[in-house]
Amino acid sequence: MTQNIGNYDCPVMYTTKDLQEILKCGSRTIYNLVHSKTFPSIKIGRKYFVEKNALENWLNKSKGKAINF
């Protein structure tokens, strides 16, 4: 999924705050998640982001599995 910003089609990106709301997790859990090797996070400067499609794919692949950090 993309959103149009100016003349560019950009992917919808979630911040760590968005992830806390979406996944109903605390900040420490999200911190561990974005630092794990299997989670599709992108670091830009000091902030982490996750593309909407990448999050959906990761959730689908992770169904029924325990997520350990």
Report pLDDT for 5. Answer: 59
Report pLDDT for 4. Answer: 62
Backbone CA torsion sign across 16, 50, 24, 66: negative
Q: Report the chain (69 residues): mean pLDDT per 10 consecutive residues.
A: 64 93 96 94 96 95 85
What is the distance between the alpha carbons of residues 25 and 20, in angstroms, rounded to a whole number?
Answer: 5
User: Residue 50, Cα to own-chain centre: how many angstroms?
Assistant: 3
Report pLDDT for 1. Answer: 61
Report pLDDT for 22. Answer: 95
pTM for the structure as a whole = 0.81
Contact 14, 49 (CB under 8 A): yes
